[in-house]
Amino acid sequence: VGVGTRSFNQMLESIRENIDQLKESMERQAQMKERELMMEAHLKEAQLKFLQAQINPHFLYNTLEIIRSRAMRRGSADVAEMAEALGMLFRYCINSPGELATLAQELDNVHHYLLIQRYRYGDRFTYEEYIENEDVMDSSLPVMTLQPLVENAVCHGICQKMEGGTVQIRSFRKNGEICVQILDDGAGFDTEKLKDADGIAIRNLKLRLKEFLNADLEIESRKGEGCRQTIHIPWEETEDENYSDR
């Protein structure tokens, strides 16, 4: 009888262990199923946001084109010009093939941006452009490199002064580099605050310059003396260029 009782108890214990293991397995499967459903939901949400990100810019661009057309028909040339310039900014961001653009394309984008700012700030700033050699216009830059730097110069430099000032873009070759400078004679800021000036947009721009071109962005400023933002792009002279300079 004792042997039979022990065997029966062992069998019950084994059954209980099997039941416990089955419960744990079912709970794990339920948790895995729940995580799977959550992942599917997040994926669908991400897909929707991706589609929205594609649709919204085109919708905005098309809407701006409608505004421009109606403004022209009603004789509002200034509204039409602003809408066209803003539309061109959108188009440049949306349709730029790949991650790189030419200096010429970047300058065109700056021109559209400054046209809009001209309506906002009037004659408080002037713009000058100096290109040492026309062949540097084909130099590569990450898309949307110059506009945020020019925006810094206009909004945080020139327009912080009652009398306004001048924004310049210069491009030249120096010491094995192509240099693109954005200069302003605006309010400037203390050298100690340079790190504070490196906001998210500037940090991101520095990373893109480094990643795509092994280039660098240098920002120099003094309180009351304006700011100089210089992009240093490595450049190697080709034999044809060397010969043409002789």
**Who contacts 90 (Cβ-Cβ below 8 Å, separation ≥6)?**
57, 60, 61, 64
pLDDT surpasses 80 at 18: no
CA 166 to chain centre: 25
Beta strands in the chain (DSSP E): 100-102, 125-131, 140-142, 165-174, 177-184, 216-221, 227-234
Q: Would you state the pLDDT for residue 188? A: 86
Q: Would you state the pLDDT for residue 230? A: 96
Statement: the pTM of the whole predicted model exceeds 0.95: no
Q: Whole-angstrom distance between the N-terminal and C-terminal Cα of the chain?
A: 113
Q: Would you state the pLDDT for residue 243? A: 41
Residue with tokens 């809009």: 116
**Residue range 189-206, pLDDT digits in tens:** 775 665 555 567 788 888
